Amino acid sequence: MSRLLMFVLRRVLVTIPTLIVMSIVVFLIIRLVPGDPVRTMLGFRATEANVAELRHQLGLDQSLFTQYLAWTGDLLRGDLGTDIVSHAPLSELLMQRLPVTLELAGLSMLLAVVAGVPLGVWAATGGPWSRRLTEGFVVFGVSVPDFWLGIMLVLVFSGTLMLLPPTGYVPFVDDPAANLRYMTLPVLTLATGEAAYILRTTRGAIASVMGRPFVTFLRAKGISERRIVFGHALRNAGPSIVTVVGIQVGVLLGGAIIIETLFALPGVGRLVVTGITQRNYPTVQVGVLAIATIFILVSLITDLVVGWLDPRVADGMMK
């Protein structure tokens, strides 16, 4: 079997315990609520019969281990339970919400990479001004809380210039142009901070490659600086950039929770936040499960990409 295939197999297998630990954490959410979670959910006006019924419906009257097995069994069959406020099946609710979060996170990361990588290259290879300007952008991106940046963007682009809608959402399939108009400010908000991180990583990776002997050799061979940067340095910086993208997806998904609330986007993050305020635990569980699963899968994919870009990483993991 080829080494690469072994690496892929091993990395996929490592994901399984992570998924199990995550599922236990999510499973425990409702069980760790102090006092009686069913009472808390239904409020003090509910009758004993109502409480007993919901407790039975959630399987809380069985042993913890039986509950976990039943719960994961249901999950694997696609039965995510029901929302206790709207009584809608949670699988349906998730299917409506997930595309919004995926679009928001995907577009934000895309914009962050498209802006951050070239700026990082510019920062590492340009003159003193490029260094100063990009450093200013990094400090700005890292220190400004994303939701406040979002509020300020609304103030400028919706309040003053009246160019873009402040809040709201239209599904992409219904009206792509309107969808993108609504997505512009949320995506810009989330991408700014991420672009700063990607810029910093790219700058560091390129700078360290440019000092290596093979670059001196390429220069001595008379290869243009442009080809050295884009053909060699960027290629060597690739794994570091992809690794940071993978880590930052977690930050981005966390940020999306706040940004969805700020821009009234009907995504999974907003579902979780409303779920918490309504003490709607099954919905909170499904939302957390969905976001955490995306995060774990993205980590898997980025690790595989890094292993493919840099076989030494794959070899290192095999040892």
Partner 1 sequence: MSGRAIMARSATPSGRRPMSASTRYILAGGAILAVLGIAAAAAPLIAPYDPESMAVREVMGVPSLLHPFGSDVLGRDVLSRVIYGLRASLLISISAVAASLVVAIPAGVLAGYFGRWVDSLISRTLDMILVLPAMLLAITLIAILGPGSVVAAIAIAVIYLPILARVMRTSTLVVTRNEYVEGSRARGAGHLRVLMTHVIPNALGPVIVQASVLSAFAMQLEAGLSFLGLGTQPPTPSLGGMLSDGRDVLTQAPWVEIFPGLAIVVAVLGFSFLGEGLRRAFDPRGVAE
Instruction: Give me the residues that bind partner 1 (CB under 8 A), please.
Output: 18, 21-22, 25-26, 29, 32-34, 139, 142-145, 147-148, 151-152, 154-155, 159-160, 166, 250-251, 253-255, 257-258, 261-262, 272-273, 275-277, 281, 284, 288, 291-292, 295-296
Token pair recorded at residue 133: 């300007």
Measured distance CA(88)–CA(84) in Å, rounded: 8
Comparing CB distances to partner 1, the nearer of 223 and 301 is 301
Q: How far is CA 213 from the centre of its chain?
A: 37
What's the closest the beta carbon of residue 230 comes to partner 1, in angstroms? Answer: 27
Q: Residue 211 burial (CB < 10 Å; 0-12/13-18/19+)?
A: exposed
Measured distance CA(256)–CA(298) in Å, rounded: 16
Measure the N-to-C terminal CA separation of the chain; round to a whole number of Å: 16
Comparing CB distances to partner 1, the nearer of 89 and 204 is 204
What's the closest the beta carbon of residue 21 comes to partner 1, in angstroms? Answer: 5
Comparing CB distances to partner 1, the nearer of 93 and 229 is 93
Whose structure tokens read 């297998």? 13
Comparing CB distances to partner 1, the nearer of 73 and 159 is 159
Query: What sign does the CA torsion over 95, 273, 252, 181 have?
Result: positive
Token pair recorded at residue 218: 């390429």
Q: How many CA atoms lie within 13 A of 13 on its CB side?
A: 8
> Is 218 in a helix, a strand, or coil?
helix
What's the closest the beta carbon of residue 210 comes to partner 1, in angstroms? Answer: 19
Among 169, 156, 196, 174, which residue's Cα sits nearest to residue 261? 169
Comparing CB distances to partner 1, the nearer of 54 and 271 is 271
Comparing CB distances to partner 1, the nearer of 67 and 261 is 261
Contact between 199 and 119 under an 8 Å Cβ cutoff? The reply is yes
Among 27, 14, 11, 118, which residue's Cα sits nearest to residue 68? 27
Comparing CB distances to partner 1, the nearer of 273 and 313 is 273
What's the closest the beta carbon of residue 170 comes to partner 1, in angstroms? Answer: 21
Contact between 253 and 60 under an 8 Å Cβ cutoff? The reply is no
What's the closest the beta carbon of residue 296 comes to partner 1, in angstroms? Answer: 7
